Copies of this chain bind each other. A is one copy, B any other.
Amino acid sequence: MAAKRVRLRDLVERFGGELVGDPDTEIERLATLRTAGPGDLAFLANPKYRGELAATRATAVVLPVAERDASALPRIVAKDSYLYFARVLAFLNPRARSAPGVHPSAVVSPGARIGAGTSIGANCFVGRDAEIGDDVEIGPGSYLGDETVVGQGSWLAANVTINARCVVGARAIVHPGAVIGADGFGFARDGERWFKIPQVGRVLIGDDVEIGANTTIDRGALDDTVLEDDVKLDNQIQVGHNCRIGQHTAIAGCVGIAGSAHIGRNCKIAGAAGIGGHLSIADGTVIGAATAIVATIDRAGVYTGMFPALPHREWQKVAARLRRLDELADRVRALERALAQRSPG
C-alpha cells in the first residue's frame, strides 16, 4: 500500500467532516482498527466494533456522528464514516497507471482508433475498427474483437476478452479472465442432433460498471444483452444471453443468471444465487445467498431459499423425512379428520 503523508486538516479540507483533536496529526496509511499502528488512520462504521476502537493503536480514526466521543484520539467525524474512509483510501491509493501508448508487442488491426492517453499492454490484440476512448488502460494479453467499443477512462486488466461488436462504457473496470460477448447457449433440435442458433446480438455495457475476474457475459441471440450504468458484478458470474441488469444493481460472486432474465435497478443478489431464464426481478429486490429464483418477482423484498446446513447425521434424517413430506402432511390431515369425527360434541 502506497505511503503518502497527509494531515487530518488536509483531509477535512478536501472531504469535509468535523475535525476533533490536533489538525496537524499526520497519517500515512489506512488500516482496520484491529491491525492499525502508528501512522495509520482507522475507522469505525459498525458500533459492534467499539471494543476494537478502545484498543486500537491507530494514530487517528474516522467516526460516525453518533460515536463522536467514543474515542479520545484525533478524529474526523463524518455522516457516513465508511464512505468517508473509502474516499480517503482512494485518495491515498490512486491506481498505478501504465504509460500511455501501444506496447510494441501488441497487435492493433486496421481501422482501430485509440484515444489520447490510452495504454495498450503487451501482447494485446485490438480488432478491426475497434474504438477505444481516451485514458483507457488495456492490460497485457487482453483481446478486443472487431468493432468493439471501450469508453473513456476504462480499465481492462490483463487477459480480458471482449468479443466483436460489444460495447463497454466509460470508467468501466473489467478484471482478468472476464469474457464479454461469447455466444449465448442456443440450439434447436434437428432430429437427434443440435443445430446452433447464431448469436448475433451484442453486449452493451453502460458507464461505471465493474466486472469481476472470470465473469462471463454472453452476447444476445438476436437482441442485445444489456448492463445499465453503475452495475457491479463480482467474480465468476454467468450472465446469459439477452439478460438486462438495471442501474446500481450489485451481484456477488458465483451467481448464475439464465438467458433473458430482466433484473431491476438497485437490486442486491448475494453469492451463488441463481436466476432462472425469461423472468423479471423487481427494482430493489434483495436475493439471499445460494437462493434459486425460478419465477418472476413483482414485489421488492428479501427472498431466500437455502437448505440449512446440519451435522451430517441429522441432515440424513431430515432429508429422509423431507422426501416423504407430502405423505406426512396427508397423515396430519387424516389425524385432523379422525379427531373431528370423534368430536364429543
Q: B-contacting residues of A (Cβ < 8 Å)?
A: 1-2, 30-32, 35, 80, 82-83, 86-87, 89-90, 93, 95-96, 103, 105, 107, 121-123, 125, 139-141, 143, 145-146, 157-159, 161, 163-164, 173, 175-177, 179, 182-183, 185, 187-190, 192-198, 200-201, 208, 210, 212-214, 216, 218, 222-223, 230, 232, 234-236, 238, 240, 247-248, 250, 252-254, 256, 258, 266, 271-272, 274, 276, 286-294, 301-312, 314-319, 321-323, 325-326, 328-329, 331-332, 335-336, 338-339, 342, 344
Question: Across the interface, do A125 and B107 meet the contact criterion of CB distance under 8 Å?
Answer: no
Question: Across the interface, do B339 and A323 meet the contact criterion of CB distance under 8 Å?
Answer: no
Question: Across the interface, do B256 and A195 meet the contact criterion of CB distance under 8 Å?
Answer: no
Which B residues lie within 8 Å of A307 (CB)?
291-292, 305-307, 322
A180 to B310, CA, bound (A): 32
Total copies of this chain within the assembly: 3
Question: Across the interface, do A140 and B214 meet the contact criterion of CB distance under 8 Å?
Answer: no
Shortest CB distance A280–B (Å): 14
Give which listed residue, B235, B290, B308, B338, contacts A339 with CB less than 8 A: B338
What are the 8 A-B residue pairs with the smallest beta carbon separation, nearest first? Answer: A305-B309, A182-B213, A125-B140, A302-B312, A254-B256, A143-B158, A161-B176, A304-B315
A–B pairs, 14, beta carbons within 8 Å: A30-B222, A89-B222, A123-B125, A173-B196, A185-B212, A192-B248, A236-B256, A289-B292, A292-B306, A294-B306, A305-B306, A308-B319, A321-B325, A321-B326
Once A122-B125, A322-B322 are accepted as A-B contacts, the answer to whether A32 and B185 lie under 8 Å apart by CB is: no
A175, A213, A302: residue with the most chain B Cβ atoms closer than 10 Å: A213
Which B residues lie within 8 Å of A194 (CB)?
208, 230, 232, 248, 250
Which B residues lie within 8 Å of A95 (CB)?
198
Shortest CB distance A297–B (Å): 8
Which B residues lie within 8 Å of A214 (CB)?
177, 179, 214, 216, 236
A210 to B304, CA, bound (A): 34
Which B residues lie within 8 Å of A179 (CB)?
159, 175-177, 213-214, 235
Question: Across the interface, do B291 and A309 meet the contact criterion of CB distance under 8 Å?
Answer: yes
Nearest neighbor of A146 in chain B, beta-carbon distance:
B96
Which B residues lie within 8 Å of A182 (CB)?
157, 175-176, 212-213, 235
Question: Across the interface, do A83 and B332 meet the contact criterion of CB distance under 8 Å?
Answer: no
Give which listed residue, B157, B248, B294, B310, contacts A323 with CB less than 8 A: B310
Which B residues lie within 8 Å of A321 (CB)?
325-326, 328-329
Question: Across the interface, do B210 and A196 meet the contact criterion of CB distance under 8 Å?
Answer: yes
A105 to B157, CA, bound (A): 20
Beyond A179-B214, A256-B271, 17 additional contacts (C-beta under 8 Å) are: A80-B189, A86-B195, A86-B198, A122-B125, A161-B177, A175-B183, A194-B208, A286-B312, A289-B292, A303-B311, A303-B312, A304-B315, A305-B308, A306-B315, A308-B319, A317-B325, A318-B322
Nearest neighbor of A275 in chain B, beta-carbon distance:
B271
